[in-house]
Each structure stands twice: as C-alpha cells, then as structure tokens.
Copies of this chain bind each other. A is one copy, B any other.
Amino acid sequence: MNKFKFQSGTKVFCGSNCLFENKNEIIKLGKKAFIVTGKASGHKSGALSDIINILNEAEIKFEIFDKIENNPSLHNVKDGGTSCRMSGADFIIGIGGGSPLDAAKAIAILAVNDIEPIQLLKNEFTIKPLPIAAIPTTAGTGSEVTAASILTIPEYETKMSFVHEDVFPKVAFLDAKYTESMKRDIAVNTAIDAMSHAIEGYLNRTASPMSDIFALESLNIFGTCLENLCEERFDYDTREKLLYASMLAGLTIAQTGTTIAHGMGYSLTYFKDIPHGKANGLLLPEYLRYNYQVAQDRVESVLKALKLISIDEFEKTMRRLISNDINFSQEELKKYSSLAMKQKSTLKNLRTVTEEDMYKILDKSLRS
C-alpha cells in the first residue's frame, strides 16, 4: 500500500431541513457573523433568508457582503477582507457556489491577517483564520469540504489556488432545496465540474485508497443522474444525489487536488468567460483519451462507474449537455498550454504532460 494522508476538516450535515435542525452548529461559531455571498445565489436559493432568520432568532449580529463576483479576483476578496475586519465579525458564513465559498476562505484569512491577497497563494499568514460555515447552493464546487480556494489573478492571466488546512469549513449544510433555484445551464455546468473533480482526483498521481473510495462512489452516483441531466429532469431526488456526489468529489480533491482538465480550463474561463464547469467538460473527453494511453484500467473504472461503455459514449453524453460555440485561434491555444504548464496541479496528472500534449488536447477539444 502506498503512503497517504487522509483529512477532512468539515462536519457535514446532509438532508432536507438540515440547516434549521442543526442551527446550534452555526450559533456556536461566534458572536457576530460575516455573511459572504454573491449577488444572486444567496438570495434566490432561500439560504440567505434562512440564515438571517436563524441569526436573528439567536440574537447574533451579522453583516452581509453580497458582492462576490463569479471567479472572484484578489481585489474582490481584499474588499471582503477589509469589510469583514471592519465589521468586527468573529465567524464567516459562506453561501453560494464555488465563488462565494472560495472567497469566504480568503476573507477568513484576510480579516485577521494584515497581508496582501497575493500572499495567500504562498500561505503567508500567521494568525488563524476565522471559522467558516458553508452552505452550497450549487452541486458542483465541493468547496464546502475542501481547504482550497481558487482565485483569479489578473497579473498571471489565470486562476490559481491556495490550500490551507485552517480554512476547511468547520461545518457545511447540504440541503438540495437550496440548489433548486439553479437554472438548467448552471445546474449542468456545476454538475460537470463536480464530475471533473471525481475524475481528476481518480486519475491523479496522489490518489490514495481513501480518495479512490470517494471518487468512485461519486462517479457511481453521477452515473445514475446522467440521463436525468441530459433530459433536464431536475427532480428533488436528482438534485439531492448531485449535491451528495458533488460533496464526495470535494472530499476526493481535498485529498488529491485536480489535474490538467482544471489547469487548462482556467484559461477558457479567464479569456473567454466560459463557465468553469463547462470549460472542464469541453476538455474531458480528450483528457480521458490522453490518459487512457497510460492508465487504461483507471479510465475504464471511471467509465464503468458512470455506466458508460466507452470514451466515445462519454463524449456523446457531454455533447448532449454542453457545446462549444466559441472560436479559438492556434495562438490562443498555445498561450493556454503555456499557462497550464505553470499550474502546480499539472504535475499530478497520471500521464506526464508536455506543453505540446496540452496544445493537442485543447486543439482536438476546441477546434475540431
């Protein structure tokens, strides 16, 4: 058995009404809350008003910072950190998809450490971040159970992550009703993001027996949801399964991190504004073909868990869910390849990757 580490720092409550039934888990986090969310998701999902009711009833003061952008920048989290510090809050509640939850982790650090946001990337902080409660309103990020935060860095023209065990949310509440306000495209894109986490965690040099358990179980559940996703049947049971599978995929990447599908996808988001999950999804078929050459067994296990017979069938399924209508030049794809090579996660890909390999995957995925 290879050496490995297993860590999960988050207490997770799953199921209908789990937030109200376990509200003490929020109340005990502190005396004043700083609520981090986006313009829409916290409000539309109903999670924000539920939290406000709980805090009011418990006579816990709070401030709401609902300015988190999609793919939050260093500037955005700096604003949040400053507001949080000024509010005097002693704990944070993140509500939303990956953007607010990742931003909450950065803000939890910046609120109590006098550093520039760029220093987050090197974990250059000394004071323990504020504790975080997380309420996902998409079934995709997995951020509610990871210690990672992905931020957009304009200086580097990409997204980069920091990972620190002190930003594992202390508690997460997974209630599928908060994901019901997602429109079709967001539901699909975020589901693909979660599936990508499970796949990249499984086809990963740092995969362990434990991460494999989570990844395969997550993919098994996705396998039972794929047809419903394609047919846009978003019943409560499917929403709940997707939310659970997304959390399992989060537990996977909490052990392994992601690899090149994410690494390349960041450029599609940064330069072309393609939603994160869709960006990964556009690349996944070629990514699987690429890794199949060195990890046939593992790729076949992925397909088997998803109940698909081949990578071709995987690709057909992806095409039912998403399609690319954006043109990319060769120069653009060369730039993306170069940027992706700089991502630390590239080293974790099962097959050793060259820049030329990256280019070929991008070209086959986006220009064929």
Which residue of chain B has its CB nearest to the CB of A145? B6
Q: Which residues of B contact A326 (CB under 8 A)?
A: none
What is the CB-to-nearest-CB distance from A249 to chain B, in angstroms, rounded to a whole number? 13
Is A12 an interface residue, CB under 8 A from the partner?
yes
Q: Which residues of B contact A271 (CB under 8 A)?
A: none
Are the CB atoms of B12 and A5 closer together than 8 Å?
Answer: yes
Are the CB atoms of B1 and A5 closer together than 8 Å?
Answer: no
Is A287 an interface residue, CB under 8 A from the partner?
no
Q: Which of A14-22, A92-100, A131-139 contacts B (4 or more CB under 8 A)?
A: A14-22
Partner of A1, one of B9, B209, B217, B241: B241
Is A328 an interface residue, CB under 8 A from the partner?
no
Q: Which residues of B contact A4 (CB under 8 A)?
A: 13-15
Is A7 an interface residue, CB under 8 A from the partner?
yes
When A8-B8, A213-B213, A217-B213 are in contact, do A244 and B14 touch as well, CB less than 8 Å?
no
Partner of A5, one of B5, B9, B13, B214: B13
What interface size band does chain A fall in?
A: 20 to 34
Q: Which residues of B contact A6 (CB under 8 A)?
A: 8, 11-12, 14
Q: Which residues of B contact A241 (CB under 8 A)?
A: 1
Chain A residues numbered 1-52 whose CB sits less than 8 Å from any CB in chain B: 1-9, 11-18, 21-22
A209 to B217, CA, bound (A): 10
Are the CB atoms of A5 and B11 closer together than 8 Å?
Answer: yes
Q: Which residues of B contact A21 (CB under 8 A)?
A: 3
What is the CB-to-nearest-CB distance from A16 to chain B, in angstroms, rounded to a whole number? 7
Is A59 an interface residue, CB under 8 A from the partner?
no
Q: Which residues of B contact A1 (CB under 8 A)?
A: 14-15, 237, 240-241, 244
Is A124 an interface residue, CB under 8 A from the partner?
no
Are the CB atoms of A244 and B209 closer together than 8 Å?
Answer: yes
A27 to B217, CA, bound (A): 35
When A1-B241, A244-B209 are in contact, do A11 and B15 touch as well, CB less than 8 Å?
no
What is the CB-to-nearest-CB distance from A95 to chain B, in angstroms, rounded to a whole number? 20
When A16-B3, A244-B1, A244-B209 are in contact, do A11 and B165 touch as well, CB less than 8 Å?
yes
A112 to B295, CA, bound (A): 52
Are the CB atoms of A7 and B14 closer together than 8 Å?
Answer: no
Task: Map CB proximity to B onto A171-214 as digits: 1 under 8 Å, 0 otherwise.
Answer: 00000000000000000000000000000000000001100011
A-B contacts, 9 listed (Cβ < 8 Å)? A1-B15, A1-B240, A3-B15, A3-B18, A5-B12, A5-B13, A5-B22, A6-B14, A7-B12
Q: Show the binding face of A for B, using Cβ within 8 Å.
A: 1-9, 11-18, 21-22, 165, 208-209, 213-214, 217, 237, 240-241, 244
Given contacts A1-B14, A5-B14, A9-B9, 18 further A-B contacts (CB under 8 A): A1-B15, A1-B237, A1-B241, A2-B15, A3-B15, A3-B16, A3-B17, A3-B18, A3-B21, A4-B13, A5-B11, A5-B22, A6-B14, A8-B8, A14-B208, A213-B213, A213-B214, A213-B217
